[in-house]
Amino acid sequence: MRRLCMFFLATILSVTGVSYAGQDTLTQISTIDALMSGIYDGETTLQALKEKGDFGLGTFNTLDGEMVLLGGEFFRINGKGAVERPDLKTKTPFAAVTFFEADRIVPLKKGLDFKALVAATDKMLPTANMFYAIRITGSFSVVKTRSVPAQQKPYRPLSEVVKTQPVFTLNNVRGEIVGFRCPPYVKGVNVPGYHLHFITADRSAGGHVLDFSVDTAVLEVDDTSEFTVVIPSDKAFLEADLTPDREKELKAVEK
Amino acid sequence: MRRLCMFFLATILSVTGVSYAGQDTLTQISTIDALMSGIYDGETTLQALKEKGDFGLGTFNTLDGEMVLLGGEFFRINGKGAVERPDLKTKTPFAAVTFFEADRIVPLKKGLDFKALVAATDKMLPTANMFYAIRITGSFSVVKTRSVPAQQKPYRPLSEVVKTQPVFTLNNVRGEIVGFRCPPYVKGVNVPGYHLHFITADRSAGGHVLDFSVDTAVLEVDDTSEFTVVIPSDKAFLEADLTPDREKELKAVEK
């Protein structure tokens, strides 16, 4: 692990050349605690969301699958792990997007997994107190993902739903990992730390990333110094009790 | 207390006529936890802050007084309780601003204090999960405020500084209370609940509001459905440990 990191860092130092202050904004619809509490319907259309970014992740109304937004195109990894192209009229209860522009480009070492990525990236980044958009493009010996099927009312909390989540093991795949690293102080609003989704290059599979192992891949990081939360105006959000601390619940869900 | 609220609500029902969806944004510089931890120097000038709002509150570099932004004009209530007009080149380590446009206008009952305002306003507002800008204009039999003097490095945490804060009792004053009600989920980022500053109509006194008693006043509320955090790029912020939960500390400071 230590040797992996050292190699990784050495590689960064030798290769990183692109670095400028990105005055980007991460725009987020609703809050993670609202989603955790079972608010799976929102009022924001993908059409509206597109105006806030060309890159990101989230879910869809009724918690119908995992969202990947890449190059301005939306993908839905449904509960069966298949990829669909949602209509722009589709709505989302939770999403985080930005206009992606890499500030850092780093090749990743073969065999690097999620844990090692976190350790090495945390070491590389100038501060834990900013937002970063993260894109990893390449081939992976394995990517382990999950997705969620559409839910029916009355909605159960997310911690219940993921107990029976379908998990997919994708071997020897090319594709893109898409997501964010958020600072500790967004607890309750977004996911502190790393939150990553995956989609294959042939757009046939993907999901919420549980783990992976890099074959040949490049990490791009977009330093993001503004953070905007769009508060939903629908009844479910407005009436929700968002006072409980859901930190432990969130950690269980993000596993 | 209950009777006060009832009267207050009855008054609202009979008078409130202005109500439209404000698509306003509360823009915030840095986070409350960063300020709490003693990060009293920022890089945002008042000139830059003005582009994000004409109304709000905050403080100035070195924690030099309480900020009131009203009608696009900045005021500094200094550590002696006197009001100064800071230069637009002055910088702020923490501020929250918006373009104020009232969505709700409500007369306040004589004798209403901070606690009764909170209770009655919480009852009136459609949800605890949005942001609200709050302006109270009128005369007060008393406003109790505090301010803080400029600090010297090494900076002590805010909870230490306020232990010796100068407190001012302003009797029979006209003026404006300026501030925000933030939802519970912003803990760590901003102040959940009410955070109010005051300035007299003659711009001679004011400060961070500890309590008040209304003589004749009107409450205006601007429903605010977007929330933007501008992450500072200075060394102190970037290197701060923003992982501790400072909820209890914050409650002590806001008293």
- Residues 5-24 (A) with a CB less than 8 A from some CB of B: 21
Search chain A and give the residue with CA nearest B237. A129
- ipTM summary value: 0.85
B243 vs A: CB within 8 A: yes
* Ordered structural domains, chain B, with CATH: 2-254 (3.30.1330.80)
A164 vs B: CB within 8 A: no
The model's pTM is 0.88
Search chain A and give the residue with CA nearest B239. A127
Which candidate, B161, B180, B224, places its Cα nearest to that of B68? B180
A25 vs B: CB within 8 A: yes
Task: Report pLDDT for A10.
Answer: 36
CB pairs under 8 A between A and B: 84
CA distance B13 to B104: 11
B31 vs A: CB within 8 A: yes
Which residues from A are below 8 Å from B235, CB to CB? none
Show the tokens assigned to A197.
Answer: 């989704």
Task: Report pLDDT for A23.
Answer: 54
Which candidate, B81, B147, B141, places its Cα nearest to that of B113? B141
Which residues from A are below 8 Å from B242, CB to CB? 128-129, 183-185
Which residues from B are below 8 Å from A233, CB to CB? 21, 225
Which candidate, A219, A146, A210, A147, places its Cα nearest to that of A176? A219
Task: Report pLDDT for B209.
Answer: 98
pLDDT tens per residue across span A120-145: 999 999 999 999 999 999 999 999 99
Closest partner residue to A225 (CB to CB) among B183, B233, B242 is: B233
Distance (Å) from the C-alpha of residue B4 to the closest C-alpha of chain A?
Answer: 25
A186 vs B: CB within 8 A: yes
Instruction: State the residue for tokens 């029916």.
Output: A152
- Asked if A130's CB is within 8 angstroms of B238's CB, the reply is yes
Model confidence band, residue A245 (pLDDT cutoffs 50, 70, 90): confident
Least confident residue range of A9-23, A239-253, B202-216:
A9-23
CA atoms within 13 A on the CB side of A176: 18
Kindly report the number of other CB atoms within 10 A of residue A77's CB atom: 28
pLDDT tens per residue across span A154-183: 999 998 998 888 999 999 999 999 999 999
Q: Which of B31, B103, B129 to mutate to test the interface with A (most CBs of A within 10 A)?
A: B129
- Asked if A184's CB is within 8 angstroms of B186's CB, the reply is no
- Which residues have CB under 8 Å from B30's CB, separation 6+? B39, B42, B93, B94, B229, B230, B231, B232, B237
Which residues from B are below 8 Å from A31, CB to CB? 185
B51 vs A: CB within 8 A: no
Distance (Å) from the C-alpha of residue B232 to the closest C-alpha of chain A?
Answer: 7
A126 vs B: CB within 8 A: yes
Q: Which of B32, B229, B233, B247 to mutate to test the interface with A (most CBs of A within 10 A)?
A: B229
Task: Report pLDDT for B255.
Answer: 66
Which candidate, A151, A204, A134, places its Cα nearest to that of A173? A204
Q: What is the pLDDT along chain B (255 residues), one digit of tens a residue?
A: 444 443 444 344 333 433 333 358 999 999 999 999 999 999 999 999 999 999 999 999 999 999 999 999 999 999 999 999 999 999 999 999 999 999 999 999 999 999 999 999 999 999 999 999 999 999 999 999 999 999 999 999 998 998 888 999 999 999 999 999 999 999 889 999 999 999 999 999 999 999 999 999 999 999 999 999 999 988 999 999 998 888 888 787 776
Distance (Å) from the C-alpha of residue A162 to the closest C-alpha of chain B?
Answer: 23
Kindly report the number of other CB atoms within 10 A of residue A42's CB atom: 26
- Asked if B128's CB is within 8 angstroms of A231's CB, the reply is no
- Average pLDDT rounded to a whole number, residues A34-51: 95
pLDDT tens per residue across span A50-107: 999 999 999 999 999 999 999 999 999 999 999 999 999 999 999 999 999 999 999 9
CA distance B92 to B99: 18
CA distance A178 to A217: 13
Model confidence band, residue A15 (pLDDT cutoffs 50, 70, 90): very low
Show the tokens assigned to A170.
Answer: 């994708």
Which residues from A are below 8 Å from B233, CB to CB? 21, 225
Q: What angle do CA A6, A186, B66 make, to 5 degrees?
A: 115
pLDDT tens per residue across span A195-228: 999 999 999 999 999 999 999 999 999 999 999 9
B89 vs A: CB within 8 A: no
CA distance B138 to B214: 8
Closest partner residue to B227 (CB to CB) among A131, A228, A238 is: A228
- Asked if B238's CB is within 8 angstroms of A126's CB, the reply is yes
Which residues from A are below 8 Å from B21, CB to CB? 233
C-alpha gyration radius of chain B: 17
Task: Report pLDDT for B2.
Answer: 43
A180 vs B: CB within 8 A: no
A70-77 LR contacts (CB < 8 Å, sep 24+)? A70/A176, A70/A178, A70/A199, A74/A46, A74/A50, A75/A199, A75/A203, A75/A206, A77/A145, A77/A147, A77/A197, A77/A199, A77/A205, A77/A206, A77/A207
- Contact of A93 with A42, CB cutoff 8 Å: yes
B68 vs A: CB within 8 A: no
DSSP output for chain A? -HHHHHHHHHHHHHH-------B-EEEEES-HHHHHTT----SEEHHHHHTT-SEEEEE-GGG-SEEEEETTEEEEE-TTS-EE---TT-EESSEEEE----SEEEEE-TT-BHHHHHHHHHHHSS-SSSEEEEEEEEEEEEEEEE--PPP-SSPPPHHHHGGG--EEEEEEEEEEEEEEEE-GGGBTTB-BEEEEEEEETTSS-EEEEEEEEEEEEEEEEEEE-EEEEE---SHHHHH----S--HHHHHHHH-
Which residues from A are below 8 Å from B130, CB to CB? 231, 238
